Amino acid sequence: MAGRRGGSVSSAEASLLAAGTGGVEELCEHLADDTVAWALLRWEVGSGTFVRSKLVAIHFNGEEVPAVRRGRLNARSGEVLAMLGKAHATLEVKRKEDLHLDFMCERLMKVLTADVMEKSMSAEALRKDYEALIAERKLRKATSQKSVGPRTAKENQKQISVDRALAAVGDATGPYNWVLLEPEKFELHNAGYGGLLEMKVWLAEDLVLFGVIRFTFGRETASSVEGMTASPKVVKYIFVHWVGPNVSAVRRGKWNAKQQQADAQVRAICSITFRREAHSLDDLDLADLISELWRLAVVDGAITDAGKSQISVEEYMASLALEQQKQLEAELEEFGSDSASRMCTDLHTCVDSVREAGGEMNWVLLGMQKREAPAQAAGAKEAAANAKKAEEERLAKEAAANAKKAEEERLATEAAAEAKKVEDERCAREAAANTKKVEEERLAKEAAAEAKKVEEEGRAKEAAANTKKAEEERLAKEVVQGEPASSRPRADSPFLTEEARPSESVISTRSSRPGQASTEPRMSGPLKLKSGWGWWWAKRHVKLTGGKLQWWRKAAEGLPDVEYRLSDGLTRWVLARHEGTDLEMRCESRDNHHGSKAVGERVILRAPSEAEAQKWKDALMEQMEYVEMLLAWPMHLDGRQGDIRNYGIEYP
């Protein structure tokens, strides 16, 4: 690693340092506190078809790198991160020991649980899920190696006795976790370490077989908290009596009679939790078997509550993956295979592999390396070796004469370091106190702002309710007194266009009606708006016409992208707030009927100026009150009550 740091940073280029499949822990093995490097890590959570992949960019800024060089390298951080591509999160780490699974889970909790299905997961659950997935990746990679032999005893062509196979299953950490015996002489049918799914493959339809399978739940991992012990494993055994569907009645009766002998042979090496006779593969359902194990554990009370909580399909699959990994690693050593992780030689290939969901590599590490010709690099290496040798000889000669001086300097250095450490700790405490104070002030301001916002919304709702109540009371009084005065349009009404103004002769009679409304828009122009309860402003072309509020993304051409009716039989829009250049409109029910999906919706319009906002407010109030008046009109001139289409409005 040190050889890569020489030379000018400006003439260096990003190069591949390492890549692998072992996740965070394997990545840490390639880091040092005296280096500056950049890594891309693919963090995966979930299982099967529900695997979710998140990309994490890590800027490793080693604290032991000289300040000047570190600054120059950090100046090129954007260039290297661009080569790694976009990531869901970016972290900066200054010490190798800080980059561990607990740190990653805590820092990436919000990113890793963004999906709805994973919001309830804890940091510990994320860690277990990640460890199990890494183990599965290693297992998959190991099985793809040409030098790794088949996994079962028969496929491995191993000459193993029945007693040895049973003993391996009976041992909680043995190399096999299932074994099947043939019924005639109890010879070995097969054995393996792939769990229930692997065993079911070897259940022949024309045979009766006896076997046992080991279920392991929980993993013996030491706690990181001092004084806490490792969580114990829970190991259970199920005796399997397989009766193939194609076995003749005579053979079935003959072979089934040997069940007690097979049972006794299995009991000699383990304690059987329960027996399961299966006539089809569906009788050996994984979830059903584990559910029965959990029920018996609760009834017997032989294990602790913590042990009961470990008996689940997830814990079994995680433990099985670790068992398979351990056995595959042993087989790799036996067959002389390479290490499970290998160095990728092409930078872009490794980066693409990490970015691809389910790719072979799940991390890649980049650093800065000066471009040198091969001959120049060899000469520089030889010169460095000679210089190092000469320096060592010089230092050796000076060491004898300056031993006393060196000791004094050492003591002085230690004292200075101790003083610096004390000062650093004091500064750290002060910084932490200041950070805490700033955070508390920020939270206090946010709380005050939120309280103010709630208060303003409450006042706005109260004002809207009062306005609605007053309007309802006014309309009720008008109904009692006769035809509502508001239903008789006035010539000087500000809510009617010129085309909609009735003549004086019409106004003077009780049966007068509004004329045809103008088809021209009441207001039209570009505004910023928020719709729904989102946080983003969008610039749209907005038009107010015919009792409808419409807008387009650009020009008002063709059908509008969004259209709201200001009032209809069930709902109506009200102006809830006017503040500066902002106009907030909300949709409410006329009679507390919430059947319409639009009830509760809101739209906030932002005009270029306060004067423009006032114009939009007046136009909106005019249109809303005009439509309300038309809806309340008792009878049209041609006898069609409630038909307001002749006034330029297309509904109801």
User: Each residue of 30-43: pLDDT tens digit?
Assistant: 898 899 999 999 88
DSSP per-residue codes, 519-561 = SS-SEEEEEEEEETT-S--EEEEEEEETTEEEEESSSS-SS-S
Average pLDDT over residues 35-62: 83
Which pLDDT belongs to residue 148? 45
**Where do we find the tokens 């059903």?**
288
Average pLDDT over residues 591-617: 84
Which pLDDT belongs to residue 104? 82
- The token pair at 602 is 């809101």
Which pLDDT belongs to residue 5? 43
Residue 635 pLDDT > 70, yes or no?
Answer: no
Average pLDDT over residues 506-535: 62
Which pLDDT belongs to residue 381? 66
User: What is the C-alpha end-to-end distance of the chain, expressed in Å?
Assistant: 77
Average pLDDT over residues 311-325: 87
Q: In what order do the strands lie in the sheet with 36-45?
A: 12-20, 363-370, 36-45, 52-61, 89-93
Average pLDDT over residues 176-187: 92
Task: Label the pairing between strands 562-565 and 234-243.
Answer: unpaired
**Confidence class of residue 106 from pLDDT cuts 50, 70 and 90?**
confident
**Confidence class of residue 593 from pLDDT cuts 50, 70 and 90?**
low
Is the pTM value of this prediction over 0.85? no
Query: In this predicted structure, which of 326-340, 401-415, 618-632 has the lowest mean pLDDT?
Result: 326-340
CA atoms of 437 and 429, how far apart (whole Å) = 12
DSSP per-residue codes, 117-167 = GGTT--HHHHHHHHHHHHHHHHHHHHHHSTT---SSTTTTT----HHHHHH
Q: What is the dihedral of CA 277, 283, 284, 290, to 10 degrees?
A: -100
Average pLDDT over residues 220-225: 44
**Where do we find the tokens 């992949």?**
53
Q: Which residue has the higher pLDDT, 147 or 601?
A: 601
Which pLDDT belongs to residue 337? 39
CA atoms of 483 and 12, how far apart (whole Å) = 88
Q: What is the dihedral of CA 604, 610, 613, 618, to 10 degrees?
A: 130
Average pLDDT over residues 598-604: 85
Query: In this predicted structure, which of 23-37, 437-451, 494-508 has the lowest mean pLDDT?
Result: 494-508
**Amino acid in the structure at residue 269:** I
CA distances from residue 444 to 441, 447, 454, 457 in whole angstroms, order as listed: 5, 5, 15, 20
Residue 611 pLDDT > 80, yes or no?
Answer: yes
**Confidence class of residue 230 from pLDDT cuts 50, 70 and 90?**
very low
Residue 88 pLDDT > 80, yes or no?
Answer: yes
Which pLDDT belongs to residue 505? 33
Residue 287 pLDDT > 60, yes or no?
Answer: yes
**Amino acid in the structure at residue 356:** E
Q: What is the dihedral of CA 28, 33, 37, 40, to 10 degrees?
A: 30
Q: Which residue has the higher pLDDT, 476 or 549?
A: 549
Average pLDDT over residues 128-143: 71
Which pLDDT belongs to residue 509? 29
**Residues 395-431: pLDDT tens digits?**
878 776 777 787 788 888 889 999 999 999 999 999 9
Helices (H), 268-402: 286-300, 305-310, 313-335, 347-355, 374-401
Residue 507 pLDDT > 50, yes or no?
Answer: no
Average pLDDT over residues 631-642: 55
Average pLDDT of every residue of the chain: 78
CA atoms of 33 and 37, how far apart (whole Å) = 10
Average pLDDT over residues 563-572: 81
**Residues 185-202: pLDDT tens digits?**
899 999 998 899 999 999
Q: Which residue has the higher pLDDT, 136 or 577?
A: 577
Which pLDDT belongs to residue 142? 58
Q: Are 33 and 95 in contact (CB under 8 A)?
A: yes
**Confidence class of residue 485 from pLDDT cuts 50, 70 and 90?**
very low
Average pLDDT over residues 583-605: 80
Which pLDDT belongs to residue 259? 92
